[in-house]
Homo-oligomer: A and B are copies of this chain.
Amino acid sequence: MELTELEHVALAVIWRDGPCTPYHVRKQFLDSPTPRWSGSAGALYPLMRRIEEQGLVTSQAAGDDGRGTRHYKVTPAGRGALVRWLRPPLDATAIGPIEDPIRTRLLFVGALSPAARRKFLDGVTRQLAEHVAELQGIEEAMRVTQDPLLLLAARGSHQVARARQRWFRDVCATLGQPSAAS
């Protein structure tokens, strides 16, 4: 009966975007600038039937549509589940440490020759710079949409990416000079 993160987010999208189709929900994931889920049909169509069986949403056939499209909206019970999801204290996995594949790889740079290690540091520095620039662009774009929540979210990913970039500069400074540490 416990909902997964994806189920919660799908429920939240249905709440926010009124009666809407499974495809609309999918598109939120497909179009997300910071994709965490693929928005695959194989995940979402069964998911929406599942939460309907649990009484969190109801659906209604779209009369004029020949392919059996159904429009979903949240029930009071679904609204309750949504509010519980947002009510502190948030569970540890929501607050907890964020995974960072670069940090993971860094632990094993000892496997590289000095030359390869320098290439690693330089390459990642460059890729991080590109990544930060991209997120900055997204933030600009969100500023135009006038949606304060989307803008705040975009600022979040941008700022976290910049912190990561600053951290990696530190890493380069520490590892770049051989025997600078002791």
24 sampled A-B residue pairs with Cβ under 8 A: A5-B104, A34-B99, A83-B111, A86-B116, A86-B120, A87-B116, A87-B119, A87-B120, A89-B123, A90-B123, A90-B124, A94-B102, A97-B161, A98-B160, A98-B164, A100-B160, A106-B156, A107-B153, A155-B167, A159-B166, A159-B167, A160-B164, A160-B167, A162-B163
Give A residues with C-beta under 8 Å from B: 5, 9, 12, 15-16, 33-36, 79, 82-83, 85-90, 93-112, 116, 119-120, 122-124, 126-128, 131, 135, 148-150, 152-153, 155-157, 159-164, 166-167, 170-171, 174-175, 181
Copy number in the complex reads 2
A149 and B87 within 8 A (CB):
no
Residues of B within 8 A of A159 (CB): 163-164, 166-167
A36 — nearest CB in chain B belongs to which residue?
B99
Residues of B within 8 A of A16 (CB): 107-108, 110-111
Q: Which chain B residues border A149 with CB–CB below 8 Å?
A: 106-107, 109-110
Smallest CB-CB A-B distances: 10 pairs: A88-B123, A163-B163, A34-B97, A94-B101, A12-B108, A103-B156, A36-B99, A95-B127, A156-B167, A159-B167
Given contacts A15-B111, A86-B120, A94-B101, contact A170 B155 (CB under 8 A): yes
Query: Taking the nearest CB of chain B, how far is it from the CB of A20, in angstroms?
Result: 14
Known pairs A16-B108, A33-B97, A153-B103; A127 contacts B89 (CB<8 A): yes
